[in-house]
Amino acid sequence: MLRSKLNLLVIALFFACAITTLADAESISGNVSVGASPVPLDHVWVRAEKINDPGHRIGAYVGGDGNYTIGDAHPDNWRVYVGFNGPYDHGYYGHATNSALTITTPGEYRVMINPGDNVTDYNFEIRVDNTPPHIDPPVVEPPPYKANYPIHISVSTSDDSGIRMIHTWARQKNPPTCDSFDGWGMGDTDGDGVYECDIPDWKVTTAGMEYLIAAYDFANNYSTYPAKDPDKNPLIIPKEDIDPPEATISGRVTNDVGEPLEGVPIEAHREDGGGIQTFTDADGNYTAEVRAGK
């Protein structure tokens, strides 16, 4: 009889703990709707990250009905945003349909989770526009340039309301094996519609530069400059505009039997944080153009 009472007590305590856990569970839920343009909802997600600990992220995919629920939203201040698992993992411009929400940046909203909170009706409307973003021809600082020194570049747009990001992509002219286009985000720090960045020092050599501009909007559309086949017909900074380097480092890379290795990346780093990258040629030789110093 005593054993039966103990068993009943254990079962009762188990259910009491389970009920308490469910009651105290914190979550964020709502609906994601789409404008006129078709978006596959099975690729849309809603994610939350802690304001004071951005590395702590939780999220959920949106169901076919547009509903979502993010569980385990422990008491804290969270940033909630909508995204899409596409070719570039683009974010959408989410318009919160609940007027009580506080907008921080396009597509991101804050919510304070208290113990036991279940935040419902945290709804988003995805606003998409199939018109690619417009950008003006880029402006590059005037030559001469110098090998292993950055080159400043800017691009303007008359309307950046739909632009999510603008990138500069650059590589060495007549690139050696493995030297592909690398990209850098361009920022509009003062809100004047002019996006700027530097082509970094390690990409600038006396071989000259090839570069292009790409602008992306929140609807997964993008436009480039040049507009047609930019990777095949990029803009050019000719080698005549780039002065010789202050110093060079050269050598040869072979395997253990002395055969040359082509396409091996060679990097040289300065103590101040800068550097250069190059690749070995068909004979295993390389030359890195560097600044003087350590």
As a dihedral over the C-alpha atoms of residue 186, residue 191, residue 192, residue 196, rounded to 10 degrees, the angle is: -20
49, 6 in Cβ contact below 8 A? no
What pLDDT is stored for residue 85 in this prediction? 56
φ/ψ region of 66 (left if φ > 0, alpha if ψ in -120 to 50, else beta) reads left
- Whether the pLDDT of residue 34 is over 70: the answer is no
Q: Which fold has domain 139-243?
A: Immunoglobulin-like (2.60.40)
Q: Using 50, 70 and 90 to split pLDDT, how confident is the model at 41?
A: low
Distance in angstroms (rounded) separating the CA atoms of residues 177 and 238: 20
- Whether the pLDDT of residue 166 is over 60: the answer is yes
Q: Quick one: DSSP state of residue 18?
A: H
Distance in angstroms (rounded) separating the CA atoms of residues 294 and 59: 46
- Whether the pLDDT of residue 14 is over 60: the answer is no
CATH architecture of the domain covering 21-127: Sandwich (2.60)
- What does each C-alpha distance from 112 to 70, 104, 121, 216 come to in angstroms? 14, 14, 14, 31
Distance in angstroms (rounded) separating the CA atoms of residues 290 and 274: 10
Residues 6+ apart with CB under 8 A from 65: 31
Does residue 133 have a cis peptide bond before it, meaning omega lies within 30 degrees of 0?
no
Q: Where is pLDDT greater, at 30 or 104?
A: 30
The full set of domain ranges for the chain reads 21-127, 139-243, 247-290
Is this model's pTM higher than 0.75 or not? Answer: no
φ and ψ at residue 15, rounded to 5 degrees: -65, -35
The structure tokens listed for 102 are 């506080």
Rounded mean pLDDT, 176-197? 79
Q: Which of 27, 48, 220, 46 has the alpha carbon at shortest distance from 124?
A: 46
pLDDT in tens, 45-82: 888 888 888 778 888 888 878 888 998 888 888 878 77
The structure tokens listed for 278 are 């190059």
pLDDT in tens, 223-251: 888 888 887 889 999 999 999 989 988 99
Distance in angstroms (rounded) separating the CA atoms of residues 151 and 132: 27
What pLDDT is stored for residue 260 in this prediction? 93
What pLDDT is stored for residue 255 in this prediction? 93
Check if 21-127 and 139-243 are the same fold: yes
Rounded mean pLDDT, 192-204? 88
